[in-house]
Structure 1
């Protein structure tokens, strides 16, 4: 292909990139190119809500990253799935719709990021949202992103909510409402019983626009610079290397791993990291790849009395029935996300906000994406909401196809370790409530032999893993360690923004997908206001 020219180039068609490209092309005034390293979202399991269990290990739609050995997790490598397909991780995630809480965003503003307080970002959450319950001052009804109540519930999930209330937590019908603390059913990003990924929400209606070009299987190899201005992108499709130029801006939306990776292979990042990887330094920016953090999850498991999804989906005859029900009515167990019931709680009474989150899942397995247990069981995951531990992401070479070195450094602070222990104790306390007695046979993991703080911590080190919320590697701020300013423009360069989870100064208190979509909406709004 000849050299291509556009007004805007968006790199990455994920949770943030999809809304950026869709909104930039909405008026028809601007010529927009959207580059996606993965393929089209045609895999049928993408669109069935429970299909995340199938795509979890599928390299056709998943980057399948691993961390370096984690010192506080017994030197284990931790699996990090990331979407490699239209919709990015929103096409393979657990569908849970959580925004975070007002103090998350107010803290961003307190760090000096003008325009990112809760009052500032709320309009963009509302703009994105098609809320099943209707519009109000906190929720939107006319947005592209379907947000729906869980349609599949069981007596066991109802009992779990009752048990959490016995343990002292209030019932909460809306975790994205006026308070997050409490227990209740999660809402999911679905519409009509099917996954509503960012691609389905934003790109499907936008594809008919003549001014939007979407190129899949396009691995962005390098940002093109002229002095201190980014003017385009070099990308590869198979064996062909092509060049696209941007008259206005390149907006990188690759996520917390791929965005800093692309900047670094382009010569933008910490000088010592780039030189070690054999990359010529074009713009020494120390914060690129720093401030990496993630929610660490620890999974408790239980044998149950009666029937759980281990039975419903564990036998082929039952799977056939569930599949037929879903095909005919878009209801039933195939509509569940990666958590049916949620719990947000404070581990210390002096805290103003919840510091842990739980996901109740009505099945159990030794490892996500593999066979369910042959006995009735359920799982409760627990993660710290606001980890203090910070890590790094560094390229190993100039080759963009080589996975970077990922070091999240989980549980390296005393607060993180104490919070994990307290969270696991609360998980057990809920399981011991009277409401669950008719359904609970035994705790299989960690098991009743685990009693002391040291034993709980050792259990977390043995089984702790990512809950797939990496953020922070192109942090927003004004200080020398920041990568982008509050307009999401990369410090010291022209023509380049980053918009995705990597710009979060601190991770939101909950699942990150909704906040990434909000970031995409806000980025497009800022870019359009400057292009007017």
Structure 2
């Protein structure tokens, strides 16, 4: 059967949530389309192995165009091509963002997306092992837990940061985001808890849910101004999967705008130049935002995660759900102000008890650790455009990292904070030398180092934003029966690792869609 009530494109962080929630109604037929395959690879579920998934067949393995703000380098952009999407290949950090993010969205016209509006959806999805309170939920599908690794190098970083004058914070999703501490993770019994594991797997036996893997979505079929289905290509050929009620795009901040533009929804002049008939002239692909991160790498004599993949540690993981292989690598971090007068943090730190360099692709041949800041509230804006009208062609992606004075100043200030933390005991006591750090503490050297060594923090958003492209109910302007539900709809990138906000958005969207069907 190729006809369903809802056709969801992309079985990632949002798509798995939507498919599970919409198929709760046994009278509703749901199809979930995914270009990748099943999430059965062992490295998906071993938390410390996540970087082994980079540039594998589970990764879309995208690259940006030459980025003008970082010396013309192309940025490597991993994205999950597997059930669970990026939640199957990410570092599992559970951060919601700041109240100011969501209240800012609502104030700018995103009705229903204030902090008080979205908090119930965060809580609904969550099963926090610490228990329920005003900020946290229990009983939801998504397990949120403390790290079972607790690496001593991470403890050294947190203690050094506190000694440098930063407050300890054991709950970045509570009353205050500022300070340093360990991250909570989307893990269950020490293993990855992706949205596929949490939401999709329990729903797979429902007869009204069909999951189609190995299927590339080529375009949305639009008839008389209404989305009626999705044209997909797989080994058996090209076919149309028909949607009786709605088509929902959950292909991410790069994939959803690409698919809209291939379907004739986007900047009219650009589409016409590629011979694509214009259905709706909208600024699809504009407003791209991301968190640009730098990681200072230091050598150490303390055993790092480099030696985590031992038979003993594998037995610990498999038998007891603990040990170094449960590490998400970015075990701790913090939120900071780069300057006085800010009402919300503009810097976020991540700390890894292992060397993490060359965009996470560098070989680890000696013990070390890495930590550093990202620009949390960037003012730089990029875009996603089509390379051609071919569905199998990767889009052109330009983030314009560090192209504003504000972003450059914030990152330089963040690197200074990192150097100050590194100079404090006990971090200073475990450092045996630099591995990849700035040449000096001058502004020029700090910026030059950031431009040559920085990388994405894997948080692209805002290319199909509420306002310009979709309404607050996530319906695409000018086309009936078509929504976008993923991080591309965020009006701005949250002050957060974006997986938790994406799950929240899908939870709210499921209610919006169900309400529209009644």
TM-score (norm 1): 0.95
Shift of 1:366: 4.0
Q: Which residue of 1 aligns with 2:163?
A: 166
Whether 1:329 aligns to 2:320 is: yes
Q: Which residue of 1 aligns with 2:253?
A: 256
Shift of 1:321: 2.5
**Cα distance in 2 between the residues matched to 1:38 and 1:268:** 25
8 Å contact kept, 1:57–1:369: no
Return 5+ residue gaps in structure 2 as ranges: none
8 Å contact kept, 2:295–2:357: no
Q: Which residue of 2 aligns with 1:299?
A: 295
Shift of 1:372: 4.7
8 Å contact kept, 1:363–1:372: no
8 Å contact kept, 1:56–1:368: no
Matches within 5 A, 1:122-137: 122-137=119-134
**Cα distance in 2 between the residues matched to 1:338 and 1:416:** 26
Matches within 5 A, 1:336-415: 336-367=327-358, 370=361, 372-415=363-406
Q: Which residue of 2 aligns with 1:41?
A: 39
8 Å contact kept, 1:223–1:266: yes
Whether 1:428 aligns to 2:424 is: no
Q: Which residue of 1 aligns with 2:502?
A: 516
Matches within 5 A, 1:19-38: 19-38=17-36
Deviates more, 1:144-153 or 1:49-58: 49-58
8 Å contact kept, 1:186–1:342: yes
Shift of 1:355: 0.8
8 Å contact kept, 2:59–2:80: yes
Deviates more, 1:362-371 or 1:320-329: 362-371
**Cα distance in 2 between the residues matched to 1:438 and 1:70:** 37
Deviations 1:279-319 (A, max 9, x none): 1212211x100001110011111111332223x23xxxx62
**Cα distance in 2 between the residues matched to 1:426 and 1:44:** 37
**Cα distance in 2 between the residues matched to 1:254 and 1:469:** 14
Measured at CA, do residues 208 and 425 of structure 1 come closer, stay the same or move farther in structure 2, by a change above 3 Å? same
Shift of 1:373: 3.5
Deviations 1:464-505 (A, max 9, x none): 11111000100101xxxx100000000111100000000011
**Cα distance in 2 between the residues matched to 1:35 and 1:203:** 13
State the SS of the aligned residue for 2:118.
Answer: helix
State the SS of the aligned residue for 2:257.
Answer: helix
Q: Which residue of 1 aligns with 2:270?
A: 273
Q: Which residue of 1 aligns with 2:458?
A: 468
State the SS of the aligned residue for 1:428.
Answer: helix
State the SS of the aligned residue for 2:475.
Answer: coil
State the SS of the aligned residue for 1:213.
Answer: strand
Shift of 1:365: 4.4
8 Å contact kept, 1:57–1:81: yes
**Cα distance in 2 between the residues matched to 1:17 and 1:41:** 14
**Cα distance in 1 between the residues matched to 2:173 and 2:475:** 29
Shift of 1:368: 5.4
Deviations 1:389-418 (A, max 9, x none): 001100111111100000111111110010
Aligned-CA RMSD value:
1.3
Measured at CA, do residues 344 and 485 of structure 1 come closer, stay the same or move farther in structure 2, by a change above 3 Å? same
8 Å contact kept, 1:53–1:368: no
8 Å contact kept, 2:297–2:357: no
**Cα distance in 2 between the residues matched to 1:366 and 1:347:** 24
Shift of 1:278: 2.5
Return 5+ residue gaps in structure 1 as ranges: none
Deviates more, 1:274-283 or 1:251-260: 274-283
TM-score (norm 2): 0.98
Deviates more, 1:262-271 or 1:361-370: 361-370
Q: Which residue of 1 aligns with 2:489?
A: 503
Shift of 1:254: 0.4
State the SS of the aligned residue for 1:142.
Answer: coil
**Cα distance in 2 between the residues matched to 1:322 and 1:332:** 6
Q: Which residue of 1 aligns with 2:428?
A: 437
Shift of 1:239: 4.3
Whether 1:196 aligns to 2:193 is: yes
State the SS of the aligned residue for 1:438.
Answer: helix
State the SS of the aligned residue for 1:257.
Answer: helix
8 Å contact kept, 1:45–1:51: yes
Deviations 1:35-69 (A, max 9, x none): 111111111111111121211221x1110000000
